[in-house]
Structure 1
């Protein structure tokens, strides 16, 4: 979804990074007990989920951010996306690396419910940084770009949780970090004697379906916001750098220009009737040749072994 300064969220994860098994367990339990996360049922939720009270609140948040469960008045319903991604016909045990890349995209592209994460992957471009410098940049972004005020402690919590969730060095984050599935994507690293790095690289093993999923969601979201006006193309530069308020797959997946082009060409090979790259008047654009698929359909086709 597009960044909207009137709809932002920071720090609702209770400082708990997403853990292995949380999303799957959440989807499974909500499928059986729709009111499991209702405020009056927190004791029950702690028992059935096997986690503490604050962790229940964190899982409630991560289920919303990823869109795997829709809540209304504390009552949840597993979304079609949730069923396709983590249902019996999907990848409930996160055995496919593509699943993790897609979960990452769902978080980093959610400007409304995970604004700090959206900022980091779509706006913060420093390849190497110290946490205090990144925090200052986040505070500047919130104040100058969004024109809002958020507590220093809230923004610090958001950044700290992000770094613990994506950094592969468990000892820096303590016990809470040991089960963070997104650390394996190596999108954030630690550098001894300096701080952190988040480098754009070629990433030749990025699963084409992850990029396809991101592109289809991007096209679908834009069409939905624009009503009947269907935008059939996106400049490759916009996919690489963003800058229009939409999440940029190249930035979210930390790809260099060559890495993005390589991945896009792989997507074109896997989905030949869906996209086309054209250079018109010096502007390289990605065109969609068919109406955008629903994200759940992209996943269903992939997990069933169909590439259409």
Structure 2
């Protein structure tokens, strides 16, 4: 397995309507999907959820991009009609964490975003390698990436809004800055502490997660990586280096990957997770489980430990 090159892709722009996902949005959106009315990005849904007309369009995007919902064909309303339904991951969250209170849920949402090819989220976590940066430099890097790797182009202003939305979603205030814990407009993705904003300089910094990334989120990422190339064993070097691998997606160093792999073997060796030496390189073997199946195993594990 070699490190995958960045391929040409069709990008999506602006579907977030400049809003980062907010506390309570996804839970309300999933409940609306499962109601008799269903979820449509219209005024009726906006009124029912108590949000604005642009916000309901944004929520539709976030339900899809988070991996909690997906579009399927709605033949009853025409051959081109689609409706939003819960995904397998969404069903697991509805059953286990309907109010999205557990950090693991947000790590899996982050995994969905960072794995969403043709998006600013995938670019930022997989391809933008600067550790500290200014907003303007990040925008310029994204525009350069689009010129080289996007099959469709957009204006600099639209690219700037996409980067601004990403930083609004992820960038937590540094320790010296006070944030209002009751502010419902703050995005829960900031709690992952993957990006910091330093108000004294205005610069941003990609950081290692302060809290441990759940084993199951890392294993879900490795499972997806393995299935992508039709194998059940991934060299640990590739786990560290490869696009859409857990080192890039979760901001983990090689030592952290080694520790997680060793712990994962102890916890899930009975289902086939193991570290083996093949030639001169260690490989991590994982079963072919979907993200929702790994999240379910996470809740089973923490329930057993409670």
TM-score after normalising by structure 2: 0.84
Note the aligned Cα RMSD (angstroms). Answer: 2.7
Work out which of the residue numbers 182, 187, 191 in structure 2 matches 1:184. 191
Residue in structure 2 matched with residue 90 of structure 1 by the alignment: 96
2:273 is aligned to 275
The offset of 1:213, in angstroms, is 2.4
1:234–1:286 contact (8 Å) kept in structure 2:
yes
1:287 aligns with 2:277: no
Map 1:1-308 onto structure 2 (within 5 A). 5-33=8-36, 35-37=38-40, 42-72=42-72, 73-85=81-93, 87=94, 89-112=95-118, 115-146=119-150, 148-169=152-173, 178-191=185-198, 192-199=200-207, 201=208, 205-220=212-227, 222=228, 230-243=230-243, 247-273=244-270, 274-288=272-286, 290=287, 292-305=288-301
Q: CA deviation at 1:142?
A: 1.0
1:244-277 Cα shifts (integer Å, max 9, x gaps)? xxx1211111111111211222222221132222
Distance across 1 between alignment mates of 2:183 and 2:56: 14
1:13/1:61 contact within 8 Å kept: yes
Moved more, 166-175 or 17-26: 166-175
Query: C-alpha separation between the residues in 2 aligned to 1:15 and 1:202?
Result: 25
Shift of residue 3 of structure 1? 6.7
Unmatched 5+ residue regions in structure 2?
Answer: 73-80
**Contact between 1:18 and 1:59, CA under 8 Å: does it hold in 2?**
yes
Inter-partner Cα distance in structure 2 for 1:127 and 1:177: 29
Q: 1:106 to 1:232 in 2, by over 3 A?
A: same
Q: Distance in 2 between matches of 1:66 and 1:121?
A: 15
